[in-house]
Amino acid sequence: MKAHHAMLTNQDSAKQMETVISNHSPPATGFKGLSKEEEDSLLGQVEIWKYMLSFTDSVALKCAVELRIADIIDRFGQHISLPKIVENIEDAPSPDITLLQRVMRVLVRRKIFSVEQSENGETLYGLTRASKWILRDTKATLAPMLLLENHPLHLNPTHYVSDIIREGTENGTAFFRCHGHEQFDLTGLNPEYNRLFNDGMVCTARIASKAVISGYKDGFNQIKSLVDVGGGIGGSLSEIVRAYPHIKGINFDLPHVVSTAPKYDGITHVGGDMFVSIPNADAVYMKWILHDWSDQHCIKILKNCRKAIPEKTGKVIIVDHVLQPEGNDLFDDTGFAFDMMLLSHNAGGKERTEENWKWLFEQTGFPRYNIIKINALPSIIEAFPI
């Protein structure tokens, strides 16, 4: 009886809290009895508290993904109660509904989930446009990437950023200082991290490839052969070749990577080293490759791309972010966040501005380039040899 009473009490608390949330309005910008200087000081304090604790939103999201909260709601196809959610959490021998209620309270406030009241006054939780992207039982999901970005192995190197700023990276990146190995070495040494990393790359590649195919329709029409540099096991290239079956695809990556690649119609897997040479083709395709490398590494890669394509008709198709220092587009803040992660994970890896990309192209024999925005985090950057 006591447990049942506690459950009802917490449901009532949730209902009251959601009423507050639904009526919540932005903080007032004017304060009675404060001078302009005092008001500015108070608002500055508010901003620091906000950014100091913003990681807790990610903690709540990770919790929802690990417990498959969105999938449980989606399975019922309608808003459901907190007890019903708890009842369907797998591998939960003694779930604490009061703790979950506090997590859901945050996620409702952040509009990850929605709430409505049943006829008997019970709070019911539903999906929003955001929570549909943390469903784990669907192809269009960011859940694996979210688990990667919030894993301690991925997050802990960020605590060494001030050290590498003070001392430089001659003694290793922040990632190396934290783990004793560079990121891509650790994926080969730690099976759990390797799985998380690969799952995160696969889900984001699927999303980006769909946006590329939709936003670059005419760009693939005249290409007869396309080499995907750093193409992994060929997932992205297979999507392109499926949409454009006239293209002969060459999936190019390290030998041990392509040795595990499945067979795809219209695709040949080739092992090699992009810093040495790249297979010849009408065009080179690189998705989220160059942002992992320093300028000098990128110059080597792009020069090899230049050798691999025809002088007059060839092109390099880069799918990567274009950082906008003063930008206010949908994905601009995400680009800065990724740049911070690259700063702690890679030796020289970074998100680049248009000026940065232009400079790389000038150093590597690409006098002309074109940036095409698509409905995704990265853009398409075309580079032409003439």
- Rounded to whole angstroms, what are the CA distances from 363 to 67, 280, 368? 49, 21, 12
β-sheet bridge partners, residue 229: 252
Q: CA 333 to CA 39: how far, in whole Å?
A: 27
Whether residue 181 lies in the annotated active site: no
Options 291, 297, 321, 345, the catalytic residue: 291
Terminus-to-terminus CA distance in the chain, angstroms? Answer: 79
Q: How many CB atoms lie within 10 A of CB 116?
A: 12
Q: How many CB atoms lie within 10 A of CB 277?
A: 12
The one-letter code for the residue type at 205 is A
Q: CA 288 to CA 185: how far, in whole Å?
A: 18
Q: CA 49 to CA 37: how far, in whole Å?
A: 19
Compute φ and ψ for 227, nearest 5 degrees.
Answer: -105, 125
Residue 117 tokens read as 């009241």
E strand or H helix at 285: strand 283-287
- Rounded to whole angstroms, what are the CA distances from 208 to 29, 141, 189, 202? 39, 12, 28, 10
The closest of 231, 179, 227 to 201, measured between CA atoms, is 231
The alpha carbon of 21 is separated from its chain's Cα centroid by a whole number of angstroms, namely 28
User: Quick one: the chain helix, strand, coil %, rounded to 5?
Assistant: 50, 15, 35
User: Cβ contacts of residue 205 below 8 Å, gap of 6+?
Assistant: 232, 235, 236, 287, 288
The closest of 74, 107, 101, 106 to 86, measured between CA atoms, is 101
Task: Give the residue numbers annotated as catalytic, written as ranges.
Answer: 291
